[in-house]
Amino acid sequence: MEIFEKLFPPAEYARRTRAVQGRMRAAGLDLIVAQDPANMCWLTGFDGWSFYVPQCVILHVDAANPVWFGRAMDAKSARITTDLPDADIVPYAERLIHHPVEHPYDALAALIRDRGWARARIGVEMDAHYYTARCHQHLAAGLPEATLGSNGDLVNWARLVKSPEEVALMRAAGEIVSAAIDRTAEVMRPGVPQQDIIAEVLHSLTRGVPGAGGDYAAIVPMMPVGEGTSTPHLTWTDKPLPTSGLAMLEISGARRRYHAPLTRTFHLGKPPRELADLAKIIVEGVDCAMEQARPGNTAEQVEAAWQASIARHGLKKESRVGYSIGLAYPPDWGERTVSLRPGDQTELAEGMCFHIQAGMWLADYGAAISESIVVTPSGADRLTRAPRDLIVID
């Protein structure tokens, strides 16, 4: 029995490699270092919880394959999850882990020199979460003849348009998160400890739906309660839910690392009129944004439609209204490419996917009813089926 089902055939990874190499030529780069675990996975299929130590995929503009570079104990993971030849799976010694003087990127620099790329124009992921200052310091010191600079998140941008197979995975993630919202509505009751709600959420997200098991998401569940809903990124506590009041839940389904985030707002007991009205305004604004999320329109046009809608009610959202989503690892399910905000003139295309995070966080409370969408030839299509309104728990 095969212990790991590879997501895509070797031909798909070869296509992605050639596409990235084309971007490298356009950017004047000979070599890139991709340490973002989502970029590593997208280029090679590599999948493992090993991103807490230095690891990366390097790709030369003329190479047949990317090269996986990582901790020796994780090389077997590369052999299991990728189709890379053994010559392109290069481990570094265990003694380099947390060494006070030496560093794994000393070995990476040696690998690059051994491959004849010591004088290359090298693009690194300056803003990747796990590419540390020390990684860069040791790489630069080990390659004094190379030219190092940012690669402009080149692989992230190559991931922006999803294939039909990728969209299918995101739709499965959408089904998973929708089922988790349904389960939350069943268990969220006054007096229930918050951690018990989250335990049910995590169980539902992991169990998945028939035919599609769930994976761990790139972000833990966010569940601010009461006044905490006036800010978006609070998690849960061990306090019981109030007899009456607000709770907000932001979670994501994940299917083979592909994400479909969703936020819903719950009210225990009859909601006050201003909250019910705010929820309707948010849904109306999302409808307007989705109407503009069609091929040829720009990211800022989508945001402008949202702003125009809520402005009719005297409201304005200062933060961006959404961002691109897809393949992701902790600590973020965004792709760090397109933002739905003023000034982003990226043209939308079929296969791009976004989380329209239409939250409104006011002085004392907030509400959010978001949507994950895919851009189709006829416009935006929801990836989920969760109810699009304030969820009232009687």
Domain assignment present for residue 5? The answer is: no
Average of pLDDT values for 56-61?
Answer: 98
Question: How many distinct structural domains can be found in the chain?
Answer: 2
pLDDT over 60 (residue 185): yes
Last residue of one domain, picked from the residues 126, 158, 190: 158
> Measured between alpha carbons, how far is 162 from 325 in angstroms, rounded to an integer?
10
- Report the mean per-residue pLDDT for the chain: 97
CA 275 to chain centre: 30
Last residue of one domain, picked from the residues 113, 129, 158: 158
Distance (Å) of CA 146 to CA 38, 108, 140, 269: 26, 13, 8, 64
Residues above pLDDT 90, as percent of the chain: 98
| Virtual torsion, Cα 150, 155, 160, 161, nearest 10 deg | 140
Q: Please give the residue range of the domain that contains residue 358.
A: 164-393
Average of pLDDT values for 347-374?
Answer: 96
Each residue's pLDDT tens digit, 220-236:
999 999 999 999 999 99
Tell me, yes or no, whether 51 and 14 share the same domain.
Answer: yes
Last residue of one domain, picked from the residues 140, 158, 176: 158
Tell me, yes or no, whether 151 and 168 share the same domain.
Answer: no
- Preceding omega of 10 cis (within 30 degrees of 0): no
Domain assignment present for residue 250? The answer is: yes
Position 358 scores a pLDDT of 87
Tell me, yes or no, whether 386 and 243 share the same domain.
Answer: yes
DSSP string of 53-119? Answer: S--EEEEETT-SS-EEEEEGGGHHHHHHH----GGGEEEE-GGGTT-SS--HHHHHHHHHHHTT-TT
Give the pTM: 0.96
Domain assignment present for residue 295? The answer is: yes
Position 2 scores a pLDDT of 75
Long-range CB contact pairs, 66-70, < 8 A, 24+ = 66/17, 66/34, 67/111, 67/115, 68/40, 68/44, 69/107, 69/108, 69/111
> Measured between alpha carbons, how far is 343 from 347 in angstroms, rounded to an integer?
12
Domain assignment present for residue 1? The answer is: no
Domain assignment present for residue 57? The answer is: yes
Tell me, yes or no, whether 151 and 175 share the same domain.
Answer: no
Tell me, yes or no, whether 317 and 183 share the same domain.
Answer: yes
Domain assignment present for residue 361? The answer is: yes
Can you read off the two tokens belonging to residue 343? 């000034």
Question: Which CATH number characterizes residue 102's domain?
Answer: 3.40.350.10
Question: Which CATH number characterizes residue 359's domain?
Answer: 3.90.230.10
* Chain position carrying tokens 């947390």: 98
What is the number of helices (H) and of strands (E) in the chain? Answer: 10, 16
Domain assignment present for residue 331? The answer is: yes
Residues above pLDDT 70, as percent of the chain: 100
Average of pLDDT values for 4-26?
Answer: 97
Tell me, yes or no, whether 264 and 352 share the same domain.
Answer: yes
